[in-house]
Amino acid sequence: MAGTRIIVDTRELDAVRKRLDGLADFDRAGLLDAIGAEGESQTRRRIEEERTDPAGQPWEPWSPRYARTRHGNHSLLMGEGDLLDSIQYLVAGGTVEWGSNLVYAAIHQFGGEEIGMPGLPARPYLGLNPENETELLAVVNDFLDEALA
């Protein structure tokens, strides 16, 4: 007789069931915490080391006038390190977000006008590029692998 035959090994089903049972106690807050920590790390790396926007484009340099007020330890968005130090993540209500709560953080991200400093260029430091997304997906996969082990 022609046809298809499926043989199910119940030991394999038991193993799958056991892994799925692990999801009943899934630590969603823990996963969001891991994602937030990675996102925060990526943003800090962008400010401190990469010095580019999420698309990999270098930030516009300081104006010559402003550059004269900086010293050797200053670099774009680093100054005294306040912006870098302010980057943090927050897990709340089933979501995670990261960024800065400094008043001037938005002017760096989006550009604009500030008292005494007209026409500040945007120097985006928040956002995800394909490499960041891959890193975040790896965090999720590692977390799920451990939860399902």
pLDDT digits (tens, 9 = 90+) for 55-76: 999 999 888 888 888 877 677 7
Closest of 80, 77, 90 to residue 33, by C-alpha: 90
Closest of 117, 146, 122 to residue 30, by C-alpha: 146
Q: How many domains does the chain have?
A: 1
Rounded CA-CA distance 136/141 in Å is 9
Rounded CA-CA distance 81/1 in Å is 76
Per the model's pLDDT, the better-predicted residue between 79 and 30 turns out to be 30
Q: What pLDDT shows up at residue 8?
A: 53
Mean pLDDT (whole number) for 38-47: 94
The DSSP code sequence of 73-136 is T--TTTTTSHHHHH-EEEEETTEEEEE---TTHHHHHH-EEETTEEEEPP-------HHHHHHH
Residue 7 lies in a domain: no
Q: What pLDDT shows up at residue 1?
A: 42
Residue 41 lies in a domain: yes
Per the model's pLDDT, the better-predicted residue between 44 and 12 turns out to be 44
Residue 143 lies in a domain: yes
pLDDT at residue 80 is higher than 80: no
Residue 16 lies in a domain: no
The bridge status of strand 117-120 relative to strand 112-114 is: antiparallel
Closest of 129, 134, 143 to residue 32, by C-alpha: 143
Q: What pLDDT shows up at residue 13?
A: 67
Q: What pLDDT shows up at residue 130?
A: 93
Ranked by mean pLDDT, the top range of 7-21, 25-39, 44-58, 134-148 is: 44-58
78, burial (CB in 10 Å: exposed 0-12, middle 13-18, buried 19+): middle
Name the pTM for this structure: 0.79
pLDDT at residue 46 is higher than 90: yes
Rounded CA-CA distance 42/13 in Å is 40
Residue 126 lies in a domain: yes
Residue 134 lies in a domain: yes
Residue 135 lies in a domain: yes
pLDDT tens by residue, 107-126: 889 998 877 777 889 999 99
Structural domain including 97 reads 27-148
